[in-house]
């Protein structure tokens, strides 16, 4: 009887591992949006200065580090962008979409809101 419960536990463990692997998120894969992008940021509400920054998309992940800020986010295979930029205690969230060469969207912080446009380098 003890052997049967031991075997049952092993089978349950194997099933759990197998099911877990089946439902695990897929590994990041290169997508058609990977590369360097120039982003123009403009405020239409609040007192925030316009900026142009270069970001990198690699394996669908957005990354940026500059002027004391860092950004992190992702670009889905359909071009949907979701990212956050942090500068000290200020957090800016951005959403939008990219196509093969251009993109646009909206952003907001506690003090300002605005739009962004993107162009592939």
pLDDT digits (tens, 9 = 90+) for 80-117: 999 999 999 999 999 999 999 999 999 999 999 999 99
Whether the CB-CB separation of 67 and 44 falls below 8 Å is answered with no
What totals of helices (H) and strands (E) does the chain contain, helices first? Answer: 1, 8
Q: What is the DSSP letter of 67?
A: T
Written as six digits, the tokens of 22 are: 């089946």
Q: Are strands 69-75 and 80-87 parallel, antiparallel or unpaired?
A: antiparallel
**Domain 35-120, architecture per CATH:** Beta Barrel (2.40)
Q: Which residues contact 45 (CB under 8 A, 6 or more apart)?
A: 112, 113, 114
What's the pLDDT tens digit per position in 60-86? 999 998 888 999 999 999 999 999 999
For residue 30, the model assigns a pLDDT of 60
This prediction has a pTM of 0.72
What are the sequence ranges of the domains in the chain? 35-120
């Amino acid at each position: 009887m003890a052997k049967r419960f031991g075997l049952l536990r092993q089978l349950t463990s194997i099933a759990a591992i197998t099911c877990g692997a089946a439902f695990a998120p897929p590994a990041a894969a290169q997508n058609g949006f990977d590369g360097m992008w120039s982003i123009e940021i403009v405020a239409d509400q609040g007192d925030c200065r316009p900026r142009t920054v270069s970001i990198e998309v690699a394996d669908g992940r957005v990354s940026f580090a500059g002027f004391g800020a860092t950004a992190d986010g992702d670009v889905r295979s359909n071009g949907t962008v979701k990212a956050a930029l942090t500068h000290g205690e200020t957090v800016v969230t951005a959403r939008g979409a990219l196509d093969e060469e251009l993109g646009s969207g909206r952003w907001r912080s506690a003090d300002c809101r605005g739009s962004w446009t993107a162009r592939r380098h």
